[in-house]
Amino acid sequence: MIEDKTPQRTSIAQLGEFGLIDHLTKHFEIKNPSTLKGIGDDGAVLDFHNKKTVVSTDLLIEGVHFDLAYMPLKHLGYKAVVVNVSDIYAMNAKATQITVSVAVSNRFPLEALEELYEGITLAAKHYEVDVIGGDTTSSQKGLILSITALGEADEENIAYRNGAQQGDLLVVSGDLGAAYMGLQVLEREKQVFEVNPNNQPDLDDYTYLIERQLKPEARKDVAEILKALDVKPTSMIDISDGLSSEVMHLCKQSNVGCNVYEEKLPLDPQFINVCEEFNIDSTTIALNGGEDYELLFTIKMDDFDKIKGNPNFSVIGHMTQESEGIHLVTRANTRIELKARGWNALQEE
């Protein structure tokens, strides 16, 4: 989607591969002291000194992970970085570098790639990561984005998925489900637009939800806040597939069970309103919506006082013996077994 109404269209072939890479990457600045050499050689060279290196990677495919009908390219570039640095933050680490590989079919002019890289550049600045390499090539169909993120942490601060203990508290940052409802709003508007292209959508009541879907932010701040509070999470994961799915990952890898309390789930008022408008159960979406990019983690019970009342965090449950299983405790105080239905399952309903 090119927002400029009279777009210039420069064929990518005019620049050639090396010209294209030079053109797209010339604005990237190196800011992290750990980056010794960025783009321009066979490989980048990094120096993490006595820190540990954290690595994560994601592949994003047009038509599978995003729809350019309502996702502007600049937002896509931004979000692709967010998704990746979120994985680094989910190790309780600091993101420091990314590599960005892009494949596009010939339907994309240079100006479209420039928009994509604008979003990538903006996110790299915001999250203070250096773009240190990548690959640019043609695809047979659509846009393909592959990003690898690197980060650093002191070994004692790294939070794995398998460290939760019975009795630990389950904590989530931010609020849940808004990204999923944002997508529902956008899909409804797309259908309205297809029926009547002159219809001007009024999206004022949905701004927060749409922003959570189109321009999510990763929780760079959580590691910093926890450090300041002197809280070391015992386990941690980011919420990409949905809360239920991620709770089950933590439980499975830590060999514990869990009780999640429905009344404790943090929901934004706009999210609650729109769930009512769509006649969808807000708890179901909060549990299974996905793409929130919040962090889910466990802390020792003794650390409760340190995070109690902190506006960034909600304690939503506690870890139990593995044999007790994984349950949602409803407002009516009944226990329902949690199932990871995730994003795809929801869409198929």
CA distances 192 to 38, 70, 180, 187, Å, are 45, 13, 19, 9
CA-closest candidate to residue 295, choices 226, 215, 344, 229 = 226
Q: Does 158 bind a copy of itself (CB under 8 A)?
A: yes
Q: Among the candidate windows 4-12, 206-214, 235-243, 264-272, which touches a copy of itself by CB under 8 A?
A: 235-243
The b-or-e profile of 307-342 (16+ CB within 10 A means b, else e) is beeeebbbbbbbbbeeeeebbbbeeeeeeeebebbb
Q: Cβ contacts of residue 204 below 8 Å, gap of 6+?
A: none
Q: Cβ contacts of residue 51 below 8 Å, gap of 6+?
A: 34, 152, 153, 154
Q: Does 124 bind a copy of itself (CB under 8 A)?
A: no
CA-closest candidate to residue 145, choices 184, 207, 102, 109 = 102
Q: Among the candidate windows 55-63, 298-306, 309-317, 330-338, which touches a copy of itself by CB under 8 A?
A: 55-63
User: Is 91 or 299 the residue whose CB approaches a copy of itself more closely?
Assistant: 91
Which of 11, 31, 64, 224 touches a copy of itself (CB under 8 A)?
Answer: 64
Which of 29, 47, 205, 224 touches a copy of itself (CB under 8 A)?
Answer: 47
User: Is 106 or 334 the residue whose CB approaches a copy of itself more closely?
Assistant: 106
Which of 15, 68, 114, 160 touches a copy of itself (CB under 8 A)?
Answer: 160
> Minimal distance in Å, beta carbon 117 to a copy of itself?
16
How far apart (Å, rounded) are the C-alpha atoms in residues 261 and 237?
19
Q: Among the candidate windows 54-62, 208-216, 278-286, 327-335, which touches a copy of itself by CB under 8 A?
A: 54-62
User: Is 34 or 121 the residue whose CB approaches a copy of itself more closely?
Assistant: 34
Q: Which DSSP symbol is given to 220?
A: H
- Other C-beta atoms within 10 Å of 5: how many? 5
User: Is 55 or 336 the residue whose CB approaches a copy of itself more closely?
Assistant: 55
The residues of the shown chain that bind a copy of itself, judged by CB under 8 A, are 36-37, 40-50, 52-59, 61-65, 87-88, 90-91, 93, 97, 99, 101-103, 132-135, 137-142, 144, 146, 148-151, 155, 158, 160-162, 236-238, 253
